[in-house]
Amino acid sequence: MAPQLLWIGLGNMGRGMVKNLVEKGNLEKPVLLYNRTRKRSEDLASKLPEGKTEIVDSVEEGVKKADIIFTILSNDAVVRTVFSSALAGGDVAGKLFVECSTIHPDTTAQLVRDAAAGGAQFVASPVFGAPAAAEAGQLIFVPAGPREAVERLRPYVRGVMGKGEIAFEDEPCEKALKLKLIGNTFVLNMVSVLGEGLTMAEKTGVGAAPVKQFVDGLFGGHYSAYGDRMLSGTYWKMEEPLFSADNARKDAGHAMDLAKSVGVELRHAAVVDDYLKVVTDHAGGDKGDIAGMYGAARKNAGLKYSVFVGLVVVVAMSAAAWFFSPKGENQTTWRSSLILAFASCYLMWFVTFMAQLHPLIEPRRSDVREQFVTE
């Protein structure tokens, strides 16, 4: 008999994963959806083929109906709360829990013990890839746990939600989370280095554009993608961050704690956390995106914007043109020409200037609706 799937957590990763699960998973039953904010479930269900999803009103209701339960949630506390509800809601013997969140390995170890006590199988399977990769079904899964349980997961991975896997079969589930945290430090370090490099380029007069060309030519891939997000400002125009400062700080903190436990010091992660504190203090940890580290680096370097300074300069020059233009029958022509020239230069500068406002962690987002707060 075909298994019944339940999906818990419809953030910017979960939505894309469910979309591919529904469209490519060859499922015989609708995917059960649960999200703390029901509207997210309703919005996603409305975009998918009719009859392919079913919304449940509680974790307990969904787990009772499901054979395989997927979870991808924002932090350890939320994961623990959801699993407590799932395991307390009834008989879970024989069910498979697939936990895709980025959490501390110690949290994962406790979940494994709790699931085993209830007779359930457990696979830890964090994923590598941004929301765009989740949407495109191009994630890399990192499943860990009993081979039999991992095999139950596989039909929904390659060619459905993911493009590949790094498996730890018959190995402790914590290994998957350790790899995930190590991998995320690479991403966080990359973003902070990009932010510092672009800031240094501006401070030294090189300019951001040549550095972006260098990055595109030598590195490409994710380096170029994050560089585009920084320079275009797309990250602060989104309704929710692709990778929130809160989640990034959580990952960096877990990574530093893991490293400390084995006698390793992650100095770069500490620098990243300092930048993310600036983003969090300014924009809010659930609204600020990690690309805002560029703005934090600029702020620390004293690169501030002030369109009014330029305006004052232009007004002063225009006043000088008015009073000091050569007298005679061409005085009006002189005045008009000079003032128009100054105004045109200011407008060109202003447009360029405002275009570069995007890399900052400005403006504060005050229009994020409740349902778009990262969960």
**What tens digit of pLDDT does each residue of 221-266 get?**
999 999 998 988 777 777 788 899 999 999 999 999 999 999 999 9
Q: What is the pLDDT at residue 347?
A: 78
Task: Say how many CA atoms lie within 13 Å of 323 toward its Cβ.
Answer: 5
Q: What is the mean pLDDT of residues 293-318?
A: 76
Measured CA to CA, the distance from residue 223 to residue 254 in angstroms comes to: 24
User: Given the structure tokens 């590949």, which residue do they identify?
Assistant: 164
Percent of the chain with pLDDT over 90: 71
Q: What is the mean pLDDT of residues 206-223?
A: 94
Measured CA to CA, the distance from residue 36 to residue 13 in angstroms comes to: 15
Of residues 252 and 364, the one with the higher pLDDT is: 252
Q: What is the pLDDT at residue 286?
A: 86
Of residues 318 and 313, the one with the higher pLDDT is: 318
**351 pLDDT higher than 80:** no
Within 10 angstroms of residue 229's Cβ, the number of other Cβ atoms is 24
Please write the tens of the pLDDT for every residue from 77-131.
999 999 999 998 789 999 999 999 999 999 999 999 999 999 999 999 999 999 9
pLDDT band, very low/low/confident/very high, at 355 (cuts 50, 70, 90): low
Amino acid, res. 178: K
Of residues 150 and 231, the one with the higher pLDDT is: 150
CA distances from residue 124 to 62, 70, 102, 254 in whole angstroms, order as listed:
20, 10, 10, 16
Q: What is the pLDDT at residue 368?
A: 39
**373 pLDDT higher than 50:** no
Using an 8 Å Cβ cutoff, are 9 and 17 in contact? no
Of residues 342 and 275, the one with the higher pLDDT is: 275
Give the lowest-confidence range in 138-147, 174-183, 244-253, 328-337.
328-337
**41 pLDDT higher than 70:** yes
Amino acid, res. 334: W
pLDDT band, very low/low/confident/very high, at 371 (cuts 50, 70, 90): very low
Tokens of 240: 């929710």
Q: What is the mean pLDDT of residues 37-48?
A: 96
Using an 8 Å Cβ cutoff, are 165 and 141 in contact? yes
**363 pLDDT higher than 60:** no
**374 pLDDT higher than 80:** no
User: How does DSSP assign 336-372, residue by residue?
Assistant: HHHHHHHHHHHHHHHHHHHHTTTTSSPSPP----GGG
Q: What is the mean pLDDT of residues 330-357?
A: 75
**173 pLDDT higher than 70:** yes
Measured CA to CA, the distance from residue 54 to residue 74 in angstroms comes to: 23
Of residues 257 and 2, the one with the higher pLDDT is: 257
pLDDT band, very low/low/confident/very high, at 17 (cuts 50, 70, 90): very high
